[in-house]
Amino acid sequence: MNPSHRETGTASFAPSFSPLPRRRGRIAYRRADETLPWGFEDWDMTLGRDGMRTLSAHCEMAVAGEDVVRDSVVSVHADFHPAEAYVRIMNKGELTGSGWFRFTDTEATCESYSRDLGRVSQSIAIERPMRGFGLHAVQSDGWLAATFPFEKGPGHIEFKGRNLMHSLHHLGATGPSLCTTTSGFEFLGVEEVSVPAGTFTCNRVALRGIVNDHPPYDMWLSRDGDGLYVKGEAQGYLASVFELVELEGGPLGTPAAA
């Protein structure tokens, strides 16, 4: 360190510093026949200079007898193949569990601890690219369809084989551990959608091949390359609407040179 910096208590900083491209948003959860929310999700996504996107989501909800607070982070490569993730879950005011996940081209691993499962160390063989890693944050749901071949047109249904998520609970209130599903998506078409955050041109997709009694579920996702979750509708016992009510920042684009 330059002696003058020690004497004055100052430090020199690179004049070329600039923050990473960033978008922030809030999604409100509400019953389809009501205006008052039963939960919300604050999310933040950045684009690193290495081309990887990172999504952080804080979710709070109280529905179906559950009172869940969930914090999660996932980083994905340019092809949306996950690289790593972290989840921390609370339910009814108590810690349910937390865990860290890592993904290579051939393997998914989990190191976690939960109230129900105790200490968990897992390793599962995978193939690249995965559809994604389900964190239960609905913006994370949007990223599960980020690489869907929309160019094949409405009516196309695609399954990616075994999919991974941290919990089979519909609200992601258990675990975390590596859990598998075999659901896929159907492309229903391009639609204009107006929500409190604005009007967006979206790809509409529906969940198909649903397991563990998950209710029918449609999503409207932005077509700007970021896979923003603009709106969602769940039927059945949830009978809920999920809407983007706040949004800051434009499309992330491609990373700037380091």
pLDDT digits (tens, 9 = 90+) for 222-258: 999 999 999 999 998 889 999 999 999 999 987 654 3
Residue 160 has pLDDT above 90, yes or no: no
Res. 125 pLDDT band, cuts 50 70 90: very high
Domain extents in the chain: 23-247
Residues 178-197: what's their mean pLDDT?
95
Catalogue the E-assigned strands of the chain. 22-31, 37-47, 53-63, 66-76, 82-91, 94-103, 107-114, 118-125, 133-134, 157-159, 163-165, 179-181, 184-195, 198-208, 217-222, 229-234, 240-248
The model's pLDDT over 69-114, given as tens digits with 9 standing for 90+, comes to 999 999 999 999 999 999 999 999 999 999 999 999 999 999 999 9
Q: Of all residues in the chain, what percent carry a pLDDT higher than 70?
A: 92
Could you say which of 3.10.28, 3.40.50, 2.60.40, 2.40.360 is the CATH number of the domain covering 23-247? Answer: 2.40.360
Using DSSP's 3-state secondary structure scheme, residue 139 falls into: helix
What the block records as the tokens of 152 is: 């094949």
Using DSSP's 3-state secondary structure scheme, residue 151 falls into: helix
Q: In this predicted structure, what is the pLDDT of residue 4?
A: 47
Residues 28, 244: Cα–Cα separation, whole Å: 7
Residues 104, 107: Cα–Cα separation, whole Å: 5
The pTM (predicted TM-score) of the whole model is 0.90
Residue 1 has pLDDT above 60, yes or no: no
Using DSSP's 3-state secondary structure scheme, residue 6 falls into: helix
| Residue in 107, 64, 122, 110 with CA at minimum distance from that of residue 86 | 110
Q: In this predicted structure, what is the pLDDT of residue 182?
A: 85
